[in-house]
Structure 1
Amino acid sequence: MTGWSCLVTGAGGFLGQRIICLLVEETELKEIRALDRAFRPGLREEFSKLQNKTKLTVLEGDILDEPFLKRACQDVSVVIHTACIIDIFGVTHRVYHECTQLLLEACVQASVPVFIYTTGPNSYKEIIENAHEEDFLENAWPQMLAEKAVLAANGWTLKNGDTLYTCALRPMYIYGEGSPFLSANINEALNNNGILSSVSKFSTVNPVYVGNVAWTHILALRALRDPKKAPSVQGQFYYISDDMPHQKFGLCLDSRWSLPLSLMYWIGFLLEIVSLLLRPICTYLPPFDCHTVTLSNSMFTSSYKNAQRDLAYKPLYSWEGAKQKTMEWVGSLVDRHKETLKSKTQ
């Protein structure tokens, strides 16, 4: 296949941007379509600087807009669907599941042969250490239902008679420079004399660096487009981690909250809906949501052995290198905060 093209949803997000930066290095790639609901100021210019032999088209629109999705998928060879894990706040069941189903149907109509889905964290109800794909226990989380739909779509017949091949990638907590989640917590600490309001002691995870997650997407699309490798990857999901040591992980859930976790989760879900409903009027960031309840109260570590076996994955960035990059970025946030305080006092 020559002159292929790729659509990336959630392209304006933390992970999507990194995927696009790696995609431009792929051979025979004629066009990247970067799709998101909105792009931050300046990102279009940053994307334009990446264009060399590869055309980069920015598509701004609602991922629940069916006609928009159908147009976006026309003449596309690969869809990388990351939109559902980028928004920390305001992501509802409808966004996870319905948009994924609409996108799959658009791929069928446009005869897109490769679909890669990125899912999010696991449920707080399970304690899993060094998880492997073979022993994973299913749950009813919205992103898991969407992932199930993606994997079930593997083997669908496309409009032109070809076959749709899918796979899914499951990173745990994604960290790195530019993380909106890390940024929110750092800014809270900076505005509170360097102290977070509360730190969970229960959560144990193996976070994965954003550059390594992005790299796995490149390897997955290469594998699904390779007739020799594709059969072992089609319809499969893969845990994505790297060589970062397992971490005790804490997030800022107010210590005054001592409700049962299940109730906390549903309160978080309602807060997400409120945030979504208020978006046309104002930006409301809830004190917590389903995502933060899960990440701060789970014990989940995983192995990347299957990705290593089927995708030839090994971390593109070492733990030391990733840590250094992230620390430098955190340092820049601290310096910026100091400059802001200094300017206010002058």
Structure 2
Amino acid sequence: MSSTVVLVTGGSGFLGQHVIKHLQLHSSNLKEIRVLDLVPFRKKLEYKESFPVRSFIGSITNKNLVREACNGTDAVLHIASLVDSTLFPNEKALQEVNVKGTEVVLEACKVNSVPILIYCSSISIYVGHDEVKKGTETTVPIPHKFMFEKYAKTKLKAQNMVLGANGDILKNGKELKTCAILPLAMYGELDINLVYQYVSHVKGTLIPRIPKLGKMEAEIQVSYVGNVAMMFVKALEVMRKGVDIGGEYFYAADDTPLQTLPSLLQPYLDGTGHSFSSWYIPLWLVLILVIIVQIVMGIIRPWKKVNTYFNIEGIRFLNKTFHVTYEKANRILGYKPIYNLESSINNSNVYYNSVLNK
């Protein structure tokens, strides 16, 4: 296998940092790892560096910059994205980054004859208002209405664009091969969203026993970020060997047990003096409160751009069972989670304790 230059867009972010770590630890014959991000790449995780890293600073919507980063590149892991599940998502920014940015990356791959493009999509494009249990890539349909409508629409459009380009002819006359990895909600080192956001908000309250928003009995599925990162490495490895997985997509799940949100968060709340109570606010009442908040903020927004993660979609998501398997990735990519539950939790605890107890 010849030496390969790999470009990781969004490599300075949460998942991107872990992808670069696992490329360094588990890849062979890499000539260079390139990172394209809005901020310079700075190594934030502990690992031995085996390959040089080169940083390109700027937006994936910058055609000249993306072309420069792709020049001489053999594979692109396109992870850069905007995630916005707030009450008032920025639709223009979502379209600009997730759709236009992906168009720019795709075009740069063709012009520079980059033969491999692996796209980081999102499980949100399959999350609707119906329950899903042990779903697979062949059994879970795209919902009629997305749970997180504005964000999911842009990710679906970008995924279709990338997978639809599989087999397109590059400038050098060879074919482009594409696939997509669909992460679930993730936890672990550098997380500033899932566990971090919830525990931060709970710590900021004066109530030691936090009431649940609805019964919160739904089984929530999350994945450790290190295992998700490893799926990108396995996909790259398979495609470098010439195995044709073009046009395929894979759910990036692992063996983290299904659990309710209170069960997921409690280990990280133990040192804060807070816990979830056994009683709950009825879901219908929570939704009424959310609507009131939405109305009030809607009135204020012309003068002050207020926003919140407290919204109807988020509350419904936390009360809706949705889980999938990684059987397809195991069968086709040879993927198995390299971190078991104990190591995933231990690694995460060290990080969360360091940032949440400051």
Name the aligned partner's letter for residue 35 of structure 2: A
Q: Distance in 2 between matches of 1:158 and 1:185?
A: 45
Cα distance in 1, alignment partners of residues 307 and 14 from structure 2: 18
2:58 partner letter: G
SS of the equivalent of 2:322 reads strand
The 5 Å alignment of 1:331-342 reads: 331-336=353-358
Does residue 315 of structure 2 align to residue 315 of structure 1? no
1:215 counterpart residue number: 230
Partner of 2:247: 235
1:323 and 1:46, CA in 2 relative to 1: closer, same or farther beyond 3 A?
Answer: closer
Indicate the SS of the match to 1:136.
coil
Q: Distance in 1 between matches of 2:332 and 2:342?
A: 26
1:130 matched to 2:128: no
8 Å contact 1:114–1:224 — kept in the other structure?
yes
Find the aligned partners of 2:48 and 2:349 in 1 and give their Cα distance: 29
Flag the 1:297–1:163 CA change in 2: closer, same or farther, 3 A. Answer: farther
Structure-1 separation of matches of 2:212 and 2:337? 32
* Residue-pair matches, total: 315
2: CA distance, partners of 1:196 / 1:11: 36
Partner AA of 2:138 in structure 1? E
User: Tell me, what secondary structure is at the counterpart of 2:55?
Assistant: strand
| CA apart distance, 1:65 | 1.4
Report if aligned partners of 2:82, 2:97 keep a CA contact under 8 Å in 1: no
Determine whether 1:59 maps to 2:56: yes
Change (3 A) 1:142 1:257: farther
Q: Residue 202 and residue 71 in structure 1: after superposition, are their counterparts in 2 closer, same or farther (change >3 A)?
A: farther
- Of residues 163-172 and 114-123 in structure 1, the stretch that sits farther from structure 2 once superposed is 114-123
Task: Give the distance between the partners of 2:136 and 2:174, measured in 1 at CA.
Answer: 32
Give, in whole Å, the separation in 1 of the partners of 2:313 and 2:159.
Answer: 17
- Using the TM superposition, give the Cα deviation of residue 99 of structure 1 relative to its aligned residue in structure 2, in angstroms: 1.2
Specify the code of the residue in structure 2 equivalent to 1:153: A
* Closer, same or farther: CA 241–104 of 1 in aligned 2, 3 Å: same
Partner of 2:169: 157
Q: 1:260 to 1:195 in 2, by over 3 A?
A: closer
Residues 170 and 298 (structure 1), Cα distance of their counterparts in 2 relative to 1, 3 Å cut = farther
Q: What is the CA-CA distance between 1:95 and the residue it aligns to?
A: 2.0
Seen in structure 2, the aligned counterparts of structure 1 residues 45 and 148 have a Cα distance that, compared at 3 Å, is closer
CA shift in 2, pair 1:296/1:38, >3 Å = farther
The residue number in structure 1 matching 2:29 is 28
Q: Are 2:164 and 1:167 aligned?
A: no
Whether the 8 Å CA contact 1:124–1:294 is kept in 2: the answer is: no
Deviations 1:218-257 (A, max 9, x none): 0000011112xx22x21101112111111223699x9875
Q: Deviations for 1:48-68, whole angstroms, at most 9, x for unmatched residues? A: x97855221111101111222
- Displacement of 1:86 in angstroms is 5.8
Out of 178, 183, 200, the position equivalent to 1:187 is 200
Q: Is the 8 A contact 2:75 2:114 kept in 1?
A: yes
State how far apart, in whole Å, the 1-side matches of 2:62 and 2:189 are.
Answer: 31
Q: Is the 8 A contact 2:102 2:158 kept in 1?
A: yes
Q: Distance in 1 between matches of 2:210 and 2:308?
A: 16
How has the CA–CA distance of structure 1 residues 308 and 93 changed in structure 2, closer, same or farther, with 3 Å as cutoff?
same
| Pair 196,225 (structure 1): closer, same or farther in 2 beyond 3 Å | farther
User: Could you give the per-residue CA deviations for residues 3-23 of structure 1, whole angstroms, max 9, x where no partner exists?
Assistant: 211111111111000000111
Once residues 142 and 204 of structure 2 are traced to their aligned partners in structure 1, the CA distance between those partners, rounded to angstroms, is 40
Residues 28 and 209 (structure 1 numbering): CA distance in 2 closer, same or farther, change over 3 Å? same
Work out whether residues 4 and 74 of structure 2, in 8 Å CA contact, stay in contact via their aligned partners in 1. Answer: yes
Of residues 140, 145, 149, the one that matches 2:157 is: 145
* Contact 2:17 2:43 (C-alpha < 8 Å) held by counterparts: no
Gap change, CA 1:319 and 1:113, over 3 Å in 2: same
Give the drift of 1:29: 0.6
CA deviation string 1:237-284 (max 9, x = no partner):
1112111111223699x98752599x89xx7xx99xx8xx97xxxxx7
Q: Distance in 1 between matches of 2:102 and 2:248?
A: 17
Distance 1:245 1:159, change over 3 A: same
TM-score (norm 1): 0.80
**Does 1:95 pair with 2:97?**
yes
- Measure how far apart 1:202 and its partner are: 5.9
Which one-letter code corresponds to 2:117 in the other structure? Answer: F
The CA deviation at 1:180 is 0.5
Computed over aligned residues only, the root mean square deviation of the Cα atoms, in angstroms, reads: 3.3
Counterpart of 1:258? 287
CA contact (8 A) 2:181 2:249 kept: yes
Q: In the alignment, does 2:339 pair up with 1:324?
A: no
Q: What SS does the corresponding residue of 1:83 show, helix, strand or coil?
A: coil
CA contact (8 A) 1:124 1:299 kept: no
Report the Cα distance in structure 1 between the residues aligned to 2:210 and 2:104, rounded to whole angstroms: 40
Are residue 82 (structure 1) and residue 79 (structure 2) matched? Answer: yes
Name stretches of at least 5 consecutive residues in structure 1 with no aligned partner: 279-283, 337-346
| Pick aligned residue for 2:188 from 152, 176, 189 | 176
* 1:296 equivalent in structure 2: 318
